[in-house]
Structure 1
């Protein structure tokens, strides 16, 4: 118990130092890029940290260890004429770290649900991870939130979850984009992360299209309505 409390204290100190440091640096640089919070979810051992490190640093560590709590890294990307700073949060998949990771779901702009193609249980748990995220991130309408599903470790010799099985699940659960990756040899890693931002942009564009037009008249007596969460509100 004492050790877990110490881990929590050190984790909070680490996050406060690096989170506010990176936000300050982002502002100091005068960057015009949009800051996006991206959360990686999935069972422990599916390769979330390896995916993040491959995407951000183009490195793969064969001696990587399980994440304790949460970690994050930043990555600058450009899509068309727009620039984005992806703040990628890698969360611990073990149940004992649930109380540490769930507070960081709030404010997320995208979520990458990750499993390993050689681990059936990790695939079966994708539904659980999605439900956990929706609850703690307080998402009212999941159809307006950009999820992406990643099947990692396609470099392994024997896979246990077929491409068709995973893609069918994604189709039945909101037509979620699905990518198969290898953090080890970098296959589709950049494509998958970039797809999350594109998914966000597409949903925002669709929401903007369905917003009702109120014409060109202005009612000066009408009180300003409070804004509610959700891109289509």
Structure 2
């Protein structure tokens, strides 16, 4: 085995973060995932059937983080996957299409479902996708910003086609998750004698799915646009 391969093989993963993509069908969830995970965009992309996921390993604050990103079909007939899909998620990207008002109007419903099934303190980013179609835009940025601020969500407008803000959006969510988890670890260390505190984190790695770590409170919100 070559030294470079050995280095990759021996790479230590400090954290595994599960992120879910939700939103109506055809808003570009799969394209956002393909752009972030593989830097690809497929004009002939077909609707996702059931659940798919991709992984990408990157460095956040000198720690190696493996993002496990889950993508589900937005069609109602796949709603049965809900509980298993959300289990263990510490981040979520709530996506709408800036050219389809209905997809934005459904955001509240998706957010309610997310909060019903996921950890109360999951890090959530609202994403207005297809910013490259600016002339067809029907969802004003201010409407989305107002909703994000009211619901304490992060917010960005993206274009999977042009790769605008895609990496920034995912990195923002991953960085915030890391910040919350690190804070939780410090609290656990400081209060290790308190009942139940040792269960907040097992070592430093979050293993998903099958484990639902708390992700800590967050009072700030971030509303950046392209």
Q: Into which bin does the TM-score normalised by the smaller protein fall?
A: 0.7 to 0.9
1:32 to 2:12 alignment: yes
User: Is the contact between residue 70 and residue 89 of structure 1 (CA under 8 Å) also seen in structure 2?
Assistant: yes
Matching residue of 1:44: 25
**Uncovered stretches (5+) of structure 1, i.e. residues with no partner:** 1-27
User: Is the contact between residue 69 and residue 101 of structure 1 (CA under 8 Å) also seen in structure 2?
Assistant: no
Change (3 A) 1:179 1:67: same
Q: 1:39 aligns to what SS in structure 2?
A: strand
Structure 1 residue 102 displacement after superposition? 3.7
Q: Which is greater in Rg?
A: 1
Structure 1 residue 207 displacement after superposition? 4.3
Alpha-carbon distance in structure 1 between the residues aligned to 2:191 and 2:43: 57
1:1-233 equivalence runs, <5 A: 29-33=9-13, 34-137=15-118, 139=119, 141=120, 144-156=121-133, 157-174=135-152, 176-207=153-184, 227=199, 230-232=214-216
User: Is the contact between residue 188 and residue 197 of structure 2 (CA under 8 Å) also seen in structure 1?
Assistant: no
Change (3 A) 1:213 1:58: closer
Alpha-carbon distance in structure 2 between the residues aligned to 1:230 and 1:46: 29
**Uncovered stretches (5+) of structure 2, i.e. residues with no partner:** 1-7, 201-212, 218-226
Change (3 A) 1:92 1:101: farther
User: Is the contact between residue 109 and residue 146 of structure 1 (CA under 8 Å) also seen in structure 2?
Assistant: yes
Structure 1 residue 177 displacement after superposition? 1.1
Query: Structure 2 length normalisation: TM-score?
Result: 0.78
Change (3 A) 1:118 1:232: closer
Structure 1 residue 226 displacement after superposition? 7.6
Alpha-carbon distance in structure 2 between the residues aligned to 1:223 and 1:76: 34
Alpha-carbon deviations, 1:98-124, whole Å to 9, x = none? Answer: 003442210112111111101111111
Superposed CA RMSD: 2.6
Structure 1 residue 209 displacement after superposition? 6.5
Number of aligned residue pairs: 196
Q: 1:155 aligns to what SS in structure 2?
A: helix
Q: 1:203 aligns to what SS in structure 2?
A: helix
Alpha-carbon distance in structure 1 between the residues aligned to 2:196 and 2:154: 37
Structure 1 residue 134 displacement after superposition? 1.9
Q: Which stretch shows the higher mean deviation, 146-155 or 78-87?
A: 78-87
RCO higher in structure (CA 8 A, sep ≥6)? 2
